[in-house]
Structures are given as structure tokens and as C-alpha cells.
Amino acid sequence: MVRNALSQTILEVRNISKRFGGVRALRDVSFTISKGEVVGLLGDNGAGKSTLVRCISGIHPPDEGQVLIANKEVNLDTPMAARNAGVETVFQDLAMVPEFNVVENLYLNREIRSANPLLRWMGWLDTRAMARRCQKSLNRLNSRIPSLYEKIENLSGGQRQAVAIARAVSWGAELVIMDEPTAALGVEQSAQVNDLIKLISSQGVAVLLISHNMQHVIETCDRAVVLYQGQCSADVAIEDVDKNRLVSMITGAADLPLPESA
């Protein structure tokens, strides 16, 4: 895939380290993501991907190192702090309520209250404003959702991902982290999600994609950052590698320096 990523650096992690008791999950991890760039975060189970994502999304603040958003150092000590800094995360379980409809899920915990002071005081919501903005967000993604009032449990896997991505980009996100977005999807739905990733990146949103599907990484990403035993072992342009090379980097079979002992 050819895309001219804009020069502005949206995310920079500098020498991020994290311990859990005697286990050093991350050691001096550093990389950057530019505006509109899609970067695959790859690694075997236990390589440190989930820990790194939690550090960036405010769930587990790093023990050492810095996180910069748009060249400004930020303290991501809570998920809300990460969101306020422009980092949205779409986890594998999507964190949606199946019994709620599309609008209710898009505005979950971010509901718009009525502009009328009395109704606002009584807790009334501005459902029309939420529906209007929800439709605008879905239109931005060219999403094929049958109805804003359809329950999430009635949507396909690809449609649920579209709602989750729309929710992420609706709040001015500079960076969207996506955790295995196509893991439970078929070929057609996976292709739809990949198209959504390409679309939001073309609109200037940076994407950090965690995936074990090398074909999707090759088709969707501009670069790949590989973690091996908690360290950043490779940062390569996708056009310079193939699937076999990526797999060898992930497993440590490639000619890569091994991490030092803790």
C-alpha cells in the first residue's frame, strides 16, 4: 500500500519500561507514529504488546520512559487522561453493550444532556442531537448500518467494528489503537474493517494495529514494529518485507539481536 504519511509525529514512546513484580514486561521500547500512518504492532504471545497498549491507553502507567502526543509529553495515568490526549482504544471485545442500540453505544458514558436547563437538571438527554451526530460519524466511515436504533447484538461482526471505530474517531482522536479487529471475522467482514482503517488513516487519524494476521498487516499497514521478549526488535517499512520475514521477526528466527537478561 502506498500512502504519504504526513510529517507530523502523533505518537512517540521513548524508552518505555514496565515491571510486574519480578517480571520485566517491557524494556526501553521506543518508536513513533506519524499523522495518518498505520503501524502494525507485532509480537508473539508474551512479547509485551498488551502491556504496551495498556501503557499508551492509560491502564498501566509505565515505570520508566515518556509518552508524547503531537510532540508534547503527556501523563497517561488513567484511560480518561489518554482519551483527553487524543488516544482512543478499540479493544478486542469492543466494550459495547449488546442490548443497547447504535446511538446508545456510540454515546455510552458521553451522553449529550438537554440544552433546556430544567430538563438538563432532571437528567434528560438530547436524543436528537446524539442521533444526528451519530449518523454524521457513520457517514464519515461510509458505514452500512441498517438503522441507528438497531441493537448491537443484531449487527454483524463487521458492522460492530464500524460502530466501535466510529465511536473512537468521533471524539477528535489523534490515534486509534485497534486490538485484533479482524480476529473473529470472516474474509468479507475483515476486508470491510481493513477498508475502514485505510479510510480513517486517509483522514489523518494515526492507527496502531495489533494483529496476528500477517496478510492483513501487509495489506493495511505502512510499517511494522516488532516486540520480542519485551523489547523493540524491529521497526520496518512493510514494502521492505514479506509475510515470512515478519513471522521470522516475531518468533526470533530472524537475524535479530536478542534481549539482554534482566
pLDDT in tens, 65-117: 999 999 999 999 998 899 899 999 888 777 788 899 999 998 888 878 888 88
Question: What is each CA distance from 55 to 61, 63, 73, 126, 205, in whole angstroms?
Answer: 5, 9, 14, 34, 20
Cell numbers describing residue 18: 514496565
Strand pairing category for 9-20 and 87-90: unpaired
User: How many whole angstroms from its chain centre is CA 22?
Assistant: 29
Cell numbers describing residue 51: 502491556
Q: Give the model's pLDDT for residue 48.
A: 93
Contact 106, 134 (CB under 8 A): yes
Running DSSP on this structure, what letter comes out for residue 60?
A: S
Q: Which residue's entry shows cell 489518554? A: 82
Percent helix, strand, coil in the chain (nearest 5)?
A: 35, 25, 40
| CATH number for the segment(s) 9-86+173-251 | 3.40.50.300
3-state secondary structure 137-181: HHHHCCCCCCCCCCEHHHCCHHHHHHHHHHHHHCCCCCEEEEECC
Alpha-carbon gap, residue 144 to 41, rounded angstroms: 28
Model confidence pLDDT, tens digit, residues 201-228: 999 999 999 988 898 899 999 999 999 9
Alpha-carbon gap, residue 261 to 48, rounded angstroms: 16
Alpha-carbon gap, residue 112 to 127, rounded angstroms: 8
3-state secondary structure of 23: strand
Mean confidence (pLDDT) of the chain: 87
Give the domain ranges of the chain. Answer: 9-86+173-251
Count, residues in the chain? 262
Q: Give the model's pLDDT for residue 4.
A: 46
Cβ-Cβ contacts under 8 Å for 84 (sequence gap 6 or more): none
Does residue 257 carry a pLDDT above 50?
no
Does residue 141 carry a pLDDT above 60?
yes
Return the higher-pLDDT residue of 257 and 239. 239
Q: Give the model's pLDDT for residue 254.
A: 66
Question: What is each CA distance from 144 to 23, 97, 102, in whole angstroms?
Answer: 45, 20, 12
Cell numbers describing residue 50: 498488551
Q: Give the model's pLDDT for residue 1.
A: 42
Alpha-carbon gap, residue 128 to 192, rounded angstroms: 28
Nearest to 250 by CA among 30, 44, 48: 44
Alpha-carbon gap, residue 26 to 54, rounded angstroms: 12
Average pLDDT over residues 159-181: 86
Average pLDDT over residues 55-68: 93
Alpha-carbon gap, residue 120 to 112, rounded angstroms: 9
Alpha-carbon gap, residue 213 to 146, rounded angstroms: 29
